[in-house]
Structure 1
Amino acid sequence: MREHERRGTSVMEGVCTGFGHKVIFVDNGGSWGSWSGVRQCPPGTYATGFSLKVEKKLGPNGDDTALNGIMLHCTGLTSATISSEMCWGDWTHAQYCPSGSRLMSFQLRVERHLGGNGDDTAANNVRFFCTDGTMLQGFGQDWGEWGNTSPECSAGICGLSAKLEEEQGSRGDDTSLNDVKMLCC
């Protein structure tokens, strides 16, 4: 049973309606961590661009985390940025849909669980698709595989919630951002 079903919300083909808005998600997110609170664009605004917080590759002696945060750039009546993030890495430069277009669906690149002494990273990159058909690929890492594209938000994406693993310290392997859900408005 998916987490959405346990909460008594309606789930069908990557769409959830239990947060007061339609929520879209993908089926390949990582399994570690907890869901952050929902971050939403101000009323009257939609996400037209995004930035990623990415940790550079650390090499064989480091504990890679790859994707650490997603920031949505909201425009409309006002402008704002919203994000869910962990502490490692740096923000990439923003990418935007062409004028008049909004973010409407997404894909995640996720590394499967490696097991044993492998260095797990979980989510590595994001692709967004704009309402005009433009595809914007983030500047994340290249571990893992791209999953299926989420359902579309015809009016546009206006918020997010991320599944983030807390810092493991000496207890284990850090993965940071594992999964994400997007709100449609």
Structure 2
Amino acid sequence: MGFNMMYDDNDAKEADRTGLNVINISCANRKGTRVKNQRSVQSPLGGRGHWTGDVICPRSNGIPLFLQSFELMVHEPKQSEDDTKANVVRFTCRDSHWKQQPKSIEKHIAGAKGQFGKSSEKCPKDSAICGLQSRVEGHIHHGDNTALNDVRFFCCRFK
């Protein structure tokens, strides 16, 4: 249904920015109503930062759209500068029967570095993104921290 990100954009000189730290997915039933006992799924809390705010899939002709696929913006490591690795996630929303046109949603992060990778495979009809697995770098006391490095999303069929 939607997502939120924890992002570290500390722009102080000499600061070790970590970029994207956490992804939180909002859950909903097939009618687009948030599920009370399963409000969200999120990657482990990593590093630091602030929540960027919920980004929700829009409705299309009154029909709810759901997270179906994603692209991850990644900043490739460079020895001479502060590395952040994953920086932004962009999702494609679509209705469960694929009758409506897909819509892209993302939270723009000013100054985020990197390139979007290839789009993931979309969830099958009558399903949506419902879970995730992430690779998070633990805190390094003396070195360059990157926090969230990669993510994999899983699809679940609507009940």
**TM-score, length basis structure 2:** 0.80
Say whether the 8 Å CA contact 1:165–1:174 is kept in structure 2: yes
1:58 CA drift (Å): 2.2
Paired residue secondary structure (2:42): strand
| One-letter code aligned to 1:60 | K
What is residue 40 of structure 2 aligned with on the other side?
A: 81
Rounded Cα–Cα distance in structure 1 between residues aligned with 2:93 and 2:71 = 12
Query: What RMSD in Å do the two structures reach over aligned CA positions?
Result: 1.5
Q: Deviations over 1:108-162 (max 9, x none)?
A: 00001102x3211000101000014110012445201111111101321010011
Find the partner of 1:138 among 79, 82, 107. Answer: 107
> Out of 147, 160, 167, which is 2:139 matched to?
167
Q: 1:104 — aligned with what?
A: 68
Measure, in 2, the Cα distance between the counterparts of 1:143 and 1:51: 19
Partner Cα separation in structure 2 for residue 53 and residue 142 of structure 1: 13
Other-structure match for 1:92 = 52
Q: Give the whole-Å Cα distance in 2 for the aligned partners of 1:87 and 1:164.
A: 9
The AA in structure 2 aligned to 1:90 is H
Residue correspondences, number: 136
CA distance in 2 between partners of 1:69 and 1:156 (Å): 20
Distance in 2 (CA, whole Å) between partners of 1:86 and 1:174 is 10
- The letter for the 2-side match of 1:73 is S
Structure 2: 5+ residue runs without aligned partners?
Answer: 95-99
Unaligned residue ranges in structure 1 (runs of 5+):
1-47
Structure 1 partner of 2:97:
none
Q: Does 1:126 align with 2:77?
A: no
User: Is 2:2–2:55's contact at 8 Å kept on the other side of the alignment?
Assistant: yes
- Among the aligned pairs, what percent are the same residue? 34
Q: Please tell me the residue identity of whatever aligns with 2:128.
A: G
State the partner residue of 1:153.
Answer: 123
The TM-score, its normalising length taken from structure 1, stands at 0.69
- The amino acid that maps onto 1:136 is I
Amino acid paired to 1:119: D
Q: Which amino acid aligns with 2:74?
A: V
| Alpha-carbon distance in 1 for matches of 2:108, 2:141 | 26
User: Which letter maps to 1:169?
Assistant: H
Alpha-carbon shift at residue 56 of structure 1 (Å)? 1.7
Aligned to 2:24, the other structure's residue is in SS state strand
Contact 2:23 2:42 in 1 (8 A): yes
Structure 1 residue 59, shift from structure 2 partner? 3.5
